[in-house]
């Protein structure tokens, strides 16, 4: 994403608004880019930063060749500050560092930009600190908050930003692009459901870990139907050793969600929407076992489990509870 024209292909509305405000020199002091994974929030923020700093700007587009542009891409620009969550959350100290940074003059120019990635991960303390200088911006400061869930950010911050909602990509287009990249129909469909980012999708689909994860999800569903008493054993012996990290487990639960969604699609006859097109037999079999109502209920429980993982509940306990709930 090196020009606004390129950005226009995926995010026409937002890129038009931003490109125009650059041309008319009416950049707001704070933006919140909100959109699902893979919609290009980060690329958008870099593009905007480059447009602000680039000295050879041509009709609003950065040149992508000068030192300023190159250093923004490599993260070495001294006046562009990026805050990335340190572990699970953005800590107070990170915002404090930013605060100190902004009492100083710029190193090369007086233009300053800060980009906060995953802004919803700010702790309450950090958010309140940020609020203080979001409220009183100096002339040439531009803040960009990137988030997948703007509702998780405190109201007082949201109200001070210009909110730019990035539209989700059409899964069909993503699917098509993935097929062009040489993925099989079934995995293209699954990847399109998993992420909107083409490169990430290709990467994941080539990962052996992911292939095994897919197998495990199918196995889990089978175990839950056939031998529910052994489900806990399965979780401990097979599931947990494979999904070691929290985000791995989140991915595993996503895969599980797709399966139960498919059951529902099967019930309502929307066969086109089914993600696991190569597992139709299993889905038909599962829908004999679980009622439509029960599948909906299960989806709710999986969502709840995902939420608990975010809140730092022990992963093994979350999975145990989930399987017990599904059995019931």
Partner 1 sequence: MKFVIQRDQLMDSVQHVMKAISSRTTIPILTGLKIEAKDDGVKLTGSDSDISIESFIPKEEDGIINVEQIEPGSIVLQAKYFPDIVRKLPQKTVEIESDDHLKVTIRSGSAEFHLNGQDADEYPQLAQLHTEDSFEIPIDLLKNLIKQTVFAVSTVETRPILTGVNMKVEDNHLDFIATDSHRLASRKIPLEKSSSQLKFSNVVIPGKSLNELNKILDDTHDNIEVSVTENQILFRTKNLYFLSRLLDGNYPETSRLIPEQSKTIVYGNTKELLNSIDRASLLAKESRNNVVRLQTKENNQIEITSNSPEVGKVVEELTAKSIEGEELKISFSAKYMMDALKVVENEQVKIEFTGAMRPFIIRPIDNDNVLQLILPVRTY
Where on the chain is the footprint of partner 1 (CB under 8 A)? 67, 70-71, 74-78, 81-82, 97, 99-100, 102-110, 138
Closer CB to partner 1, 146 or 264, in the complex: 146
Nearest approach in angstroms of CB 107 to partner 1 is 5
Strand ranges of the sheet holding 80-83, from the earlier edge strand across to the other edge: 80-83, 112-116, 141-147, 30-34, 162-165
Nearest approach in angstroms of CB 114 to partner 1 is 11
| Cα–Cα distance, 161 to 73 (Å, whole number) | 24
- The SS3 call for residue 60 is coil
| Cα–Cα distance, 49 to 130 (Å, whole number) | 20
Nearest approach in angstroms of CB 205 to partner 1 is 31
Closer CB to partner 1, 2 or 109, in the complex: 109
Closer CB to partner 1, 117 or 324, in the complex: 117
Classify residue 197 by its DSSP letter: -
Closer CB to partner 1, 65 or 317, in the complex: 65
Nearest approach in angstroms of CB 245 to partner 1 is 25
Collect contacts of 13-20 with beta carbons under 8 A, ≥24 apart.
13/167, 14/44, 14/164, 14/165, 14/166, 14/167, 15/44, 17/164, 18/44, 18/48, 18/164, 19/60
What tokens were used for 255?
Answer: 């895969």
Nearest approach in angstroms of CB 99 to partner 1 is 7
Closer CB to partner 1, 103 or 155, in the complex: 103
């Amino acid at each position: 994403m090196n020009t606004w024209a390129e950005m226009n292909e995926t995010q026409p509305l937002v890129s038009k608004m931003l490109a125009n405000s650059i041309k008319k020199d009416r950049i707001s002091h704070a933006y919140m880019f909100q959109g699902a994974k893979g919609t290009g929030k980060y690329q958008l923020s870099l593009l905007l930063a480059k447009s602000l700093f680039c000295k050879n700007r041509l009709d609003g587009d950065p040149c992508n060749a000068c030192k300023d542009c190159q250093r923004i891409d490599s993260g070495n620009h001294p006046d562009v500050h990026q805050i990335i969550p340190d572990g699970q959350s953005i800590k107070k100290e990170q915002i404090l560092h930013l605060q100190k940074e902004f009492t100083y003059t710029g190193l090369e120019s007086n233009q300053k930009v800060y980009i906060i990635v995953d802004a919803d991960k700010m702790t309450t303390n950090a958010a309140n600190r940020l609020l203080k200088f979001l409220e009183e911006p100096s002339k040439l400061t531009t803040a960009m908050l990137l988030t997948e869930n703007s509702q998780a950010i405190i109201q007082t911050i949201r109200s001070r930003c210009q909110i730019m909602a990035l539209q989700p990509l059409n899964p069909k287009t993503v699917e098509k692009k993935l097929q062009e990249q040489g993925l099989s129909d079934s995995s293209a469909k699954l990847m399109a459901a998993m992420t909107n980012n083409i490169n990430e999708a290709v990467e994941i689909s080539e990962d052996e870990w992911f292939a095994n994860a897919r197998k495990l999800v199918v196995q889990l569903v089978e175990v839950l139907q056939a031998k529910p008493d052994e489900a806990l054993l399965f979780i401990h012996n097979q599931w947990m050793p494979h999904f070691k990290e929290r985000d791995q487990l989140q991915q595993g639960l996503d895969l599980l969600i797709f399966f139960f969604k498919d059951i529902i699609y099967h019930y309502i006859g929307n066969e086109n929407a089914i993600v696991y097109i190569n597992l139709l037999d299993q889905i038909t079999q599962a829908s004999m076992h679980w009622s439509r109502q029960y599948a909906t209920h299960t989806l709710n429980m999986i969502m709840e489990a995902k939420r608990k993982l975010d809140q730092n509940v022990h992963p093994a306990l979350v999975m145990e509870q989930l399987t017990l709930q599904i059995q019931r």
